[in-house]
Amino acid sequence: MKTAFVAGASGLTGSHLVNRLLESPEYDRVILLVRSSLRLSHPKLVQVEADFDHLSDLDLTVTVDHAFCALGTTLAKAGSKEAFRRVDQHYVLDFAELALKIGATAFCLVSSMGADPKSKFFYPQVKGETEEALKKIPFHRITILRPSLLLGERREKRLAERIFAWIMSRIHPIIPLKYKAIKADSVAEAMIHYAAVPEAGTFTYNSGELLSVIKRIHAAQSHVS
Question: How far is residue 4's CA from residue 31's CA, in Å, rounded to a whole number?
Answer: 6
Interval 30-72: pLDDT, tens: 999 999 999 999 999 999 999 999 998 998 999 999 999 999 9
pLDDT at 27 over 90: yes
pLDDT (average), residues 71-95: 95
Is residue 87 within 8 A of residue 14, CB to CB? The reply is no
| Phi, psi torsion values for 35, nearest 5 degrees | -70, -40
Is residue 214 within 8 A of residue 190, CB to CB? The reply is yes
Interval 118-140: pLDDT, tens: 999 999 999 999 999 999 999 99
Residue 123 bears catalytic tag: yes
Question: How far is residue 72's CA from residue 68's CA, in Å, rounded to a whole number?
Answer: 13
Q: Which secondary structure element, helix H or strand E, spans residue 193, and what is its range?
A: helix 184-195
Residue 127 bears catalytic tag: yes
Considering 44, 118, 120, 127, which one is annotated as catalytic? 127
Interval 90-100: pLDDT, tens: 999 999 999 99
Interval 138-184: pLDDT, tens: 999 999 999 988 886 655 555 555 554 544 455 455 565 566 788 99
Considering 2, 44, 123, 179, which one is annotated as catalytic? 123
Considering the segment(s) 2-224 as one domain, its CATH architecture is 3-Layer(aba) Sandwich (3.40)
Dihedral sign of CA atoms 181, 147, 74, 128 in order: negative
CA-based nearest residue to 187, from 32, 7, 16, 6: 16
